């Protein structure tokens, strides 16, 4: 414990600086070879480098007045005095219907990224709302959305508190002890701080790309997974306290018995997350090692600090129901014993019926719209940028202030302008700018930047300018960045998903020393994943009415649900294998379910609760990820693990362990119909 205290104290100081190394600019997430990324470098000679346009919208339904135009002009001059505002603003310009005014301000998006934009937009809003006299004022565009995103992400502190509260409530319900939940909570909190400190050092000195999204996912993942490991350890420790008078001997045996499953579980999750290093998106590539670090640190904390705290505290930490030496609880009347007994009577019917139901539900995932979320659909509420974009689209071309741009050879200037002007969805093409042998052409989109229609326009624009021989033309801009992000996410999914499946299979095969069991477990988890995505698609489209899902959403859900779903199968099947060596596979399956059913269900509730806490953030991506992972974990623990896996194990019998030595053992005979089940004595149930 002293060693951990010595680690955590400096870790607090380092973890507090994690926000300083976060990169929240979406252009920084793209690979260097993406077309939009290459255009950013080429465009620096024509426009201020690393800037975000802030689109200022004034509106008056009955028509803007000359006083309104004068205020907009005065505001534009005042905006120039704000630190990080680059160059003179464009405008103000009155709309054709005379009901709105538009001004475009370039905001430095340098070292501080979105945080700097948030500060600038705040100062602009203060200026714009002064002496407005009923004139509407909103800041939208990339800088406006960046500012609102930072506001939404600022709920991360509340997320940590909500996550901790969820863990405490579930542990109180599980153990009915007011003191015991404090130990997993303190240990998980220490693991999170230590992990954040390590990630900060890697981001600062080793080029690891992290963003606010990574920090939020890390929080719920560490709290959820680390608490799961604590539940497994505590459950086995409580069993051993009934068998050993000395609590040190009890902990030694508990660690010996539970650590293989806990280590295998953590290894599965960590290695699966490290596979994300194969991603081309820097945000995904950085998320993998960051979360893997969280899992590994959580594992180390739960296998070292947690046992130390439990042994130091002694049996009284379980008050008011302290496990006394020599006491034995029977599991015959537990719900998990009854479920196991019922399944063992008709195992084939049970697993076939369960698989069919899950398969039918999985069909719903064909309705998942994971092709990106338009800018105004990214929030569960209506912040300033969303309202401003809606007003802008009513009075100006939706793409005003945030154009696409083409960089090409200067000799092809006229051809580029002609080609871009002929693309459907381009409202206007500005006069070309020529410098140092290159030409820079801006095109205003008819549709909102980042929308599906705008992305189609970018694809058509690229097809048009790429045909110009010798032009070496490339198309960039925020919509092009969104499009390239979508393409990179699709590529990442095709590469990473097969690799994760192979890695998880190999880990299971090594742990169980078998081939059949890993294949069946993998199949159940994939089926559970499909059903979770099917339910999520229906909920997103018809209950929550979301505009779509992030292009990277299916990959992240796959990695989390497959890795975490395998976790619970490891916890169950490891115990089943242990019992099968003594009693045969059929009885071992029932005994394993009886022994682990309660603790695995509690672990699933903890993990589902921590991910569900993501829904407290006003972000569609967070709400979707939290909903799907929470539902998937509950489905896996309540149905897939307890019903489907148990039924398969009973039906397949000793073939589960082929080709290991356990396969050659003669299994327990099937009792004749009507024979009462033997009483299973499971300590600590």
pLDDT digits (tens, 9 = 90+) for 77-104: 999 999 888 888 988 999 999 999 999 9
**Partners of 59 in the beta sheet?**
100, 136
**Burial code of 117-143, b = ≥16 C-beta within 10 A, e = fewer?**
bbbbbebbbebbeeeeeebbbbbbbbb
Residues of the chain under the 50 pLDDT cut: 330-332, 667-685
Residue 111: count of CB within 10 angstroms of its CB:
10
Residue 14 is predicted with a pLDDT of 92
Q: Alpha-carbon distance 630 to 605, whole Å?
A: 8
Residue 417 is predicted with a pLDDT of 92
Residue 676 is predicted with a pLDDT of 43
pTM of the entire predicted model: 0.83
Contact between 521 and 573 under an 8 Å Cβ cutoff? The reply is yes
Alpha-carbon Rg for the chain in angstroms? 29
**Partners of 404 in the beta sheet?**
443
Residue 665 is predicted with a pLDDT of 60
Residue 625 is predicted with a pLDDT of 92
Which whole-number Å values give the CA distances from 123 to 120, 126, 455, in the listed order? 5, 5, 32
Cα-based torsion angle of the residue sequence 44, 48, 53, 58 in order, rounded to the nearest 10 degrees:
-140
Q: Report the residue count for the chain.
A: 685
Q: Alpha-carbon distance 651 to 555, whole Å?
A: 33
Contact between 302 and 187 under an 8 Å Cβ cutoff? The reply is yes
Residue 527 is predicted with a pLDDT of 92
Q: Alpha-carbon distance 561 to 631, whole Å?
A: 10
Helix/strand/coil (H/E/C) assignment for every residue in 442-474: EEEECCCCCCHHHHHHHHHHHHHHHCCCCCCCE
Which whole-number Å values give the CA distances from 681 to 333, 339, 600, in the listed order? 11, 16, 19
Residue 231 is predicted with a pLDDT of 85
Q: Alpha-carbon distance 83 to 68, whole Å?
A: 25
């Amino acid at each position: 414990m002293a060693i951990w205290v010595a680690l955590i104290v400096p870790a607090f100081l380092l973890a507090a600086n994690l926000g300083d190394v976060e990169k929240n600019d979406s252009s920084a997430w793209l690979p260097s070879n993406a077309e939009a990324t290459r255009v950013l470098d080429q465009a620096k000679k024509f426009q201020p480098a690393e800037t975000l346009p802030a689109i200022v919208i004034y509106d008056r339904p009955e028509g803007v007045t000359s006083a309104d135009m004068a205020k907009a002009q005065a505001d534009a001059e005042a905006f120039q005095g704000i630190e990080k505002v680059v160059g003179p603003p464009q405008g103000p310009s009155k709309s054709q219907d005379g009901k709105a005014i538009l001004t475009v301000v370039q905001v430095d998006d340098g070292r501080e990224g979105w945080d700097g934009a948030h500060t600038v937009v705040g100062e602009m809003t203060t200026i714009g709302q002064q002496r407005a006299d009923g004139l509407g004022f909103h800041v939208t565009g990339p800088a406006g959305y960046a500012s609102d995103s930072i506001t939404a992400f600022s709920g991360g502190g509340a997320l940590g508190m909500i996550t901790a509260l969820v863990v405490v409530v579930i542990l109180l319900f599980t153990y009915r002890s007011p003191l015991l939940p404090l130990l997993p909570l303190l240990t998980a909190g220490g693991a999170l701080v230590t992990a954040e400190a390590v990630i900060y050092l890697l981001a600062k000195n080793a080029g690891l790309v992290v963003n606010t999204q990574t920090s939020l996912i890390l929080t719920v993942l560490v709290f959820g997974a680390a608490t799961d490991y604590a539940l497994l350890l505590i459950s086995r420790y409580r069993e051993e306290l009934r068998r050993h008078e000395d609590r040190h001997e009890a902990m030694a045996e508990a660690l010996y018995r539970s650590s293989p499953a806990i280590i295998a579980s953590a290894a599965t999750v960590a290695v699966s997350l490290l596979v994300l290093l194969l991603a081309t998106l820097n945000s995904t590539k950085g998320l993998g090692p960051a979360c893997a670090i969280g899992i590994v640190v959580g594992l180390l904390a739960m296998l070292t600090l947690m046992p130390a705290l439990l042994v130091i505290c002694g049996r009284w930490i379980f008050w008011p129901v302290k496990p006394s030496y020599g006491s034995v609880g029977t599991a015959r009347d537990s719900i998990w014993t009854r479920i196991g007994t019922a399944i063992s009577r008709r195992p084939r019917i049970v697993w076939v019926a369960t698989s069919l139901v899950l398969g039918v539900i999985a069909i719903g995932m064909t309705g998942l719209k994971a092709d990106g979320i338009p800018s105004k659909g990214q929030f569960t509420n209506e912040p300033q940028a969303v309202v401003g974009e809606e007003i802008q689209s009513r009075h100006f071309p939706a793409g005003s202030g945030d154009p696409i741009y083409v960089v090409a050879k200067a000799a092809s200037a006229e051809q580029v302008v002609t080609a871009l002007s002929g693309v459907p969805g381009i409202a206007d093409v500005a006069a070309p700018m020529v410098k140092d042998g290159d030409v820079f052409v801006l095109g205003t989109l008819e549709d909102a930047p980042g929308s599906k229609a705008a992305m189609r326009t970018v694809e058509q624009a690229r097809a048009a300018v790429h045909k110009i021989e010798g032009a070496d033309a490339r198309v960039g801009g925020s919509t092009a960045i969104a499009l390239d992000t979508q393409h990179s996410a699709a590529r990442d999914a095709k590469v990473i998903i097969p690799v994760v499946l192979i890695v998880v299979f190999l880990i299971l095969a090594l742990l169980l020393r078998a081939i059949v069991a890993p294949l069946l477990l993998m199949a159940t988890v994939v089926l559970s994943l499909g059903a979770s995505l099917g339910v999520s698609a229906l909920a997103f489209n018809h209950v929550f009415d979301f505009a779509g899902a992030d292009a990277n959403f299916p990959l992240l859900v796959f990695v989390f649900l497959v890795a975490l779903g395998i976790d619970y199968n490891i916890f169950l099947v490891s115990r089943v294998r242990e019992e099968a060596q003594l009693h045969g596979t059929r009885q071992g399956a029932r005994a394993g379910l009886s022994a682990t059913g309660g603790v695995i269900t509690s672990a699933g509730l903890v993990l589902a609760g921590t991910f569900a806490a993501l829904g407290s953030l006003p972000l569609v991506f967070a709400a979707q990820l939290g909903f799907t992972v929470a539902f998937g974990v509950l489905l896996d623990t309540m149905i897939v693990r307890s019903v489907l896996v148990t039924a398969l194990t009973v039906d397949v019998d000793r073939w589960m362990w082929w080709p290991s030595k356990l396969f050659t053992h003669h299994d327990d005979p099937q009792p004749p119909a009507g024979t009462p089940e033997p009483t299973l004595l499971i300590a600590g149930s």
